[in-house]
Amino acid sequence: MTDARMTGSRTTDARMMGTSASAGVGTSATGTGTGAAGARAAGTGAAGARGAGSAADVRARVGVVLREVRRFARGIMGSDAYDKYLTHHRVTGCTHAPLSEREFWREKYAEEDRNPQGRCC
């Protein structure tokens, strides 16, 4: 029972790796700032699919881990704010051109000036 469940979750993992790569392609197609990351993701995803060879498989896995670490670090520091903004722009289907990265950050800091948030003791 436990064994079966574990195998199940492992296959889910593998599927998620593949699909996250395809989501990356989707992002790069819209020409956003994450395009490069998306392309890299697609590359490693393809390697993972081909990867009967264990070296390629390991490399793909390391790639996935590194990308996750980067995503976490950027998320905690708030470095991904512009990506979030672009996603919002795409999802809501705004017709006007999005702000450039420079304009976006200026606007973001101006917003923080207007609405201060406390830090803890």
Which positions touch another protein (CB under 8 A)?
2, 5, 8-9, 12-13, 15-16, 19-20, 22-24, 26-27, 34, 38, 68, 71-79, 81-93, 101-102, 104-106, 108-121
What's the min distance (Å) between Cβ of 17 and another protein? 9
User: Which CB sits closer to another protein, 47 or 87?
Assistant: 87
User: Which CB sits closer to another protein, 66 or 73?
Assistant: 73
Ordered alpha helix ranges (H), 1-121: 2-29, 35-50, 54-77, 81-91, 101-114
Nearest to 89 by CA among 33, 42, 40, 38: 33
Rounded-to-integer distance, Cα 69 and Cα 88, Å: 23
Count CA atoms within 13 Å of residue 105 on its CB side: 6
What's the min distance (Å) between Cβ of 7 and another protein? 10
What's the min distance (Å) between Cβ of 62 and another protein? 16
